[in-house]
Amino acid sequence: MQGAVKGRMGDLPVVEGDKLSNGQLGSWFMRSGWSKGELARQVNRRARRLGAHHISTDTSRVRRWLDGEQPREPIPRILSELFSERFGCVVAVEDLGLRPARQSPAASGVDLPWAGPQTVAMINEFTRSDLMLGRRGFLGTSLSVSAGPSLIEPMQRWLVPAPSVPDAGADVPVPGAAASPHGTGPEASASVSGSGSPTARGSGARVVALHGGGGARRRTEKLSMPEIELLEHTTVMFRQWDAQCGGGLRRKAVVGQLHEVTDLLQERHAEPVGRRLFRVTAELAALAGWMSYDVGLQPTAQKYFVLALHAAKEAGDRPLGSYVLSKMSRQMIHLGRPDDALELIHLAQYGSREGATARTQAMLHAMEARAYANMGQPGKCRRAVRMAEDTFEDALPGDGDPDWIRFFSEAELTAETAHSYRDLAYSSGRSPTYASMARPAMERAVELFRREAEEAEGGGHRRSYALNLLGMASVHLLQREPEHCAVRAVEAIEVARRLRSERVNNRLRRTAAWAARDFGEVAEVVRLGERLAVEMPDTETPAPAAAG
DSSP code string of 183-223? -SSTTT-EEE-TTS-EEEEETTEEEEEPTTSSSEEEESSPP
The total number of structural domains that make up the chain: 4
Q: Apex CA 396: angle with CA 391 and CA 400, to 5°?
A: 110
Cis status, amide bond into 319, omega within 30 of 0: no
Within a domain: 202: no
Q: Is the per-residue pLDDT at 483 higher than 60?
A: yes
CATH number (domain holding residue 478): 1.25.40
Q: Give me the phi and psi of 69, to 5 degrees please.
A: -65, 140
Q: What is the pLDDT of residue 272?
A: 87
- 467 inside domain: yes
Find the domain containing 521 and state its range: 422-548
| Assigned domain for 157 exists | no
Residue 352 is predicted with a pLDDT of 94
Amino acid, single-letter form, for residue 114: W
Specify which of 213-222, 288-297, 359-368, 503-512 reaches the highest per-range mean pLDDT. Answer: 359-368
d(CA 123, CA 501): 24
Q: What pLDDT is stored for residue 134 in this prediction?
A: 56
Under 8 Å between Cβ of 396 and 448: no
d(CA 439, CA 476): 8
Say if residue 224 is in the same domain as residue 301. yes
Higher pLDDT, 231 or 138: 231
Average pLDDT of 294-306?
Answer: 92
Mean pLDDT of the chain: 81
CB 537 within 8 A of CB 512: no
| Side-chain half-sphere CA neighbours of 431 within 13 A | 16
Distances (CA, A) of 299 to 80, 95, 147, 239, 360: 11, 17, 11, 21, 26
Q: Report if residue 195 sits inside a domain.
A: no
∠ CA 200-204-205 to the nearest 5 degrees?
50
Q: Judge if 354 and 226 occupy the same domain.
A: no
Q: Looking at the structure, tell me whether residues 329 and 306 fall in a common domain.
A: no
Please give the single-letter amino acid code of residue 240: Q
Burial of 16 (0-12, 13-18, 19+ CB in 10 A): middle
SS3 labels along 126-192: HHHHHHHHCCCCHHHHHCCCCCCHHHHHHHHHHHCCCCCCCCCCCEECCCCCCECCCCCCCCCCEEE
Let me know whether 431 and 523 are in one domain: yes
Paired sense of beta strands 216-219 and 198-202, if any? unpaired
Distance of CA 344 to the CA centre of its chain: 14
For position 538, what pLDDT does the model report?
A: 63
Q: Do 402 and 433 belong together in one domain?
A: no
In angstroms, the CA 546 to CA 331 distance is: 11
Based on the fold, state whether residues 267 and 373 are members of the same structural domain. Answer: no
* Structure confidence by residue, pLDDT tens digits, 328-365: 999 999 999 999 999 999 999 999 998 999 999 999 99
Q: Quickly count helices (H) and strands (E) in the chain.
A: 20, 9
Statement: residue 542 has pLDDT above 80: no
Question: What distance in Å separates the CA atoms of residue 200 and residue 218, rounded to the nearest whole number?
Answer: 10
With CA atoms as reference, report the closest residue to 264 among 110, 127, 113, 106. Answer: 127
pLDDT at position 250, please? 84
- The verdict on 358 and 436 lying in the same domain is no
Residue 236 and residue 300 in one domain: yes
- Same domain? For 261 and 389 the reply is no
Task: Identify the pLDDT of residue 484.
Answer: 98
464 within domain boundaries:
yes
Is it the case that residue 467 has pLDDT exceeding 90? Answer: yes
- 395 pLDDT above the threshold of 80: yes
Task: Write down the pLDDT at residue 269.
Answer: 85
Tell me how many degrees the CA angle 445-397-411 measures, rounded to the nearest 5: 5
* Residue 149 belongs to a domain: no
Domain boundary among 36, 63, 96: 96
Q: Residue 518 domain-assigned?
A: yes
Q: Are residues 396 and 356 in the same domain?
A: yes
Q: Which of 73, 67, 76 is nearest to 36 (CA)?
A: 67
270 three-state secondary structure: strand
Which helix H or strand E contains 115, and what residues bound it?
A: none
Would you say residue 208 lies in a domain? no
Residue 84's pLDDT band, with cuts at 50, 70 and 90, is confident
Q: How many CB atoms lie within 10 A of CB 429?
A: 7
Q: What is the mean pLDDT of residues 3-32?
A: 58
41-45, 201-205, 430-434 — which is least confidently predicted? 201-205
Q: Quick check: 40 and 61 in contact, CB under 8 A?
A: yes
State the average pLDDT over residues 103-118. 68
Q: Does residue 172 register a pLDDT over 50? A: no
Compute how many other C-beta atoms are within 10 angstroms of the C-beta atom of residue 410.
Answer: 12
Given a contact cutoff of 8 angstroms between Cβ atoms, the answer to whether 512 and 532 are in contact is yes
CA distance 363 to 382: 15
In terms of domains, do 437 and 540 share one?
A: yes
pLDDT at 476 over 90: yes
Phi/psi zone of residue 483: left (φ > 0), alpha (ψ -120 to 50 degrees), beta?
A: alpha
Q: What share of the chain is helix, strand, coil (3-state, %, to 5)?
A: 65, 5, 30
Judgement on whether residues 324 and 280 belong to the same structural domain of the protein: no
Q: Which residue has the higher pLDDT, 3 or 532?
A: 532
**Res. 102 pLDDT band, cuts 50 70 90:** low
d(CA 114, CA 162): 8
pLDDT digits (tens, 9 = 90+) for 242-295: 988 887 678 999 999 999 999 999 888 888 889 999 999 999 999 999 999 998
